[in-house]
Amino acid sequence: MFDRFREECGVVAVCGHPEAANLAYLGLYALQHRGQESAGIASSDGREVRCTREMGYVVDVFTPEQLARLPGHMAIGHTRYSTAGSTVLANAQPFAVVCNKGRIAVAHNGNLTNGAELRRELEQQGSIFQSSSDTEVILHLVALSRERTLAGALREALLQLEGAFSMVFLAEDRVIVARDPHGFRPLAMGQMELSGGRTCCVFASETCAFDLIGALYMNEVEPGEMVMAGPEGLTRERYVPEQPRAHCVFEQVYFSRPDSIVFGRPVEQSRELLGRLLAREHPVEADVVVPVPDSGVAAALGYADESGIPFRHGLIRNHYIGRTFIEPSQAIRDFGVRLKLNPVRRLLEGRRVVLVDDSIVRGTTSRKIVRMVGQAGAREVHLRIACPPTISPCFYGVDTPTKRELIAANSSVEEIRRFVEADTLGYLSLAGLREAVGDVERCAYCYACYTGDYPTELLNLEELMQARTRR
Ligand code: AMP
């Protein structure tokens, strides 16, 4: 629930609507939880691609005047919090360039595991980079391709990429979206009916973006698929032979909004089941079930329902902490988690509390929250975590720290319990997690952060680890 880890990105694309940039703006607004560092939109009126990107929240970045300067019936948008590349405007997306394939813009969610390698090769060939983001690599590959059409060049570029990517491209006359062969990050496709029987095609990381703009969710862009929307209508093609799926399970556990359908599954359904299974695996006698808001809410509801222990909002979250928060002087600075959470003493005092959260990463926040609940008068605090212990870093776009900092990579559950100062601690099992996301028979998810088994070959693991340490 804390922004210091906040990661990932959200992407949207619109094709065939007179107010494409406005729709992209609303879509990004719905995807704000996927990244709060920067936001950007590129639009095209069929002749020119224009782009605006700034640091900050979607509502702060775009004024009505700015949106008016993004005319056209096609647009792509991006909201970012970096996993690779540092925090500067140069890394804000979309990236827009003019090259031998025309004017193009790209926005990307995910992390390329061979991004640094490709960049080195490109630099040796003379490419000049303007950012430290791995997304720029894609534009260089497209520009260097000998294929004459943008689709051909893109296909060639995509085949050189490894790792996680859900991408949206904008050219003067078309929108092209693509997903990596394993489908690590989500990308949904939707439709809007316009007057005169026309339809508008929309794409977004999560379906909550469709709900806001009144679009109908159709299906997923398939892993290894490229979808083109342009003058010829809509075309879908598989650019690479089918490969095993590896959807990021953390999207279901934490990242996506519960009102979204992600990888074809309602997130809320997974979250509630996580809580139910957690209650079955780690029952305890208690008086109240309290979620750590917002990340633990859906799982706590499931836990409460399954166990019959009443659900109470015993911790209240302040939602209005922006990045611009100015910390007062040192003397009163050490608010810790109090800045975001405050206990409801009346609900906690003298009670045996089941505290439910989605995950423990370093353990430091969880310890503060357990302490806070204890100091508010709870008689016992039983911490329940709706996923297995996080033991390995993610290289596909979720910002987990190095193994050294991951508490579960270095300590037993009992040691973690003592560290967070809980009376008992229970994590959901891997089998429980698979059941909750509907993956018992399919094996379509990536669980690397809980197992250390990475679904793709990571030839440069050492380099990837080092990049993580440097951040
Ligand atoms: P800690 O106890 O310091 O490991 O922090 C645990 C808290 O961090 C939980 O409330 C999680 O919801 C939250 N958290 C875990 N992973 C992430 C992530 N990748 N991005 C943002 N928050 C996260």
- pLDDT tens digits for range 130-139: 888 888 999 9
CATH code for the domain of 319: 3.40.50.2020
Do 435 and 335 lie in one domain? The reply is yes
Q: Are both 297 and 369 inside the same structural domain?
A: yes
Region of 421 (left: φ > 0; alpha: ψ -120 to 50; beta: rest) is left
- pTM of the entire structure? 0.94
Structure tokens at 408: 């579960």
User: 399 CB under 6 A from ligand 1?
Assistant: yes
Question: Per the structure, how many domains does the chain have?
Answer: 2
Integer Cα distance of 68 and 79 in angstroms: 19
Residue 181: domain span = 9-243
How many angstroms does the Cα of residue 254 sit away from the middle of ligand 1? 9
The rounded Cα 132 to chain-centroid distance in angstroms is 20
How many alpha carbons fall within 13 Å on the CB side of residue 397?
31
Coil, helix or strand at residue 125 = coil
Given 9, 15, 201, 248, which residue is catalytic?
9
9 counts as catalytic: yes
Residues 223 and 351 in one domain: no
Q: Is the same domain home to 265 and 338?
A: yes
Shared domain check, 195 and 64 = yes
Predicted confidence at residue 338, as pLDDT, reads 83
Q: Is 224 part of a structural domain of the chain?
A: yes
Q: 55 lies in a domain?
A: yes
Last residue in a domain, options 217, 243, 269: 243
Nearest atom within ligand 1 for CA of residue 399: 19
Check whether residue 276 and residue 171 sit in a common domain. Answer: no
Whether residues 169 and 272 share a domain: the answer is no
- Residue-wise pLDDT for 33-87, tens only, equals 999 889 999 999 999 999 999 999 999 999 999 999 999 999 999 998 765 566 6
Residue 408 phi/psi, 5-degree rounding, is -75, -15
Quote the pLDDT of residue 8.
76
Ligand 1 in reach of 362 Cβ (< 6 A)? yes
Question: 233 and 268: one domain?
Answer: no
Low-confidence residues of the chain: pLDDT under 50: 1-7, 324
Please answer whether residues 32 and 79 qualify as being in contact, where contact means their C-beta atoms are separated by less than 8 angstroms. yes
How much is the pLDDT for 132? 86
pLDDT value at residue 25: 98
Question: Which residues pair with residue 14 across a beta bridge?
Answer: 75, 202
Distance, CA of 232 to CA of 353 (rounded, Å):
60
* pLDDT on residue 82: 61
**Given 214, 243, 272, which residue is the final one in a domain?**
243
Look at residue 109 and tell me if it is in a domain.
yes
Q: Report the CATH number that the domain containing residue 32 is assigned in CATH.
A: 3.60.20.10
